[in-house]
Amino acid sequence: MFLSWMQLTIDTTMLSCEAQSVILTRLSKIALGRCSHDESLLMVTEKLSAFAEAAAIITTGGTAHHVVKGYRRKVRANVQRLGC
């Protein structure tokens, strides 16, 4: 049980660090005028789809671990795409 909580803590901490790098990159591009309309639209639609996916996981009996893993997968894809 303790190891399960520790793993969730580590995954959540990593998610927050990875998300901050994506946020920094996106805000920097916006401030420098290098952010396309498609990227701005993607920022919003990604959040809506991630929320819907997390809600579906929880309602079907998933755990917080599954939700965090799903978010990390999406954020890591952004890190790769944006070159953070």
Q: For the chain, which residues make up each domain, given as ranges?
A: 2-82
Q: Tell me the per-residue pLDDT of 14-53, one tens digit each, with 9 for 90 and over.
A: 999 999 999 999 999 989 998 888 888 988 999 999 999 9
Q: d(Cα 23, Cα 8) in Å, to the nearest integer?
A: 22
Would you state the pLDDT for residue 2? 83
Residue 57 binned pLDDT confidence (cut-offs 50, 70, 90): very high
pLDDT at position 1: 76
C-alpha span between 19 and 54 (Å, rounded): 16
Q: How far apart are CA 51 and CA 20, in angstroms?
A: 18
The tokens describing 45, both together, are: 């639609």
CA distance 55 to 28: 31
Q: What percent of the chain has pLDDT over 90?
A: 75
3-state secondary structure of 72: helix
Q: Across the chain, what does the average pLDDT equal?
A: 92
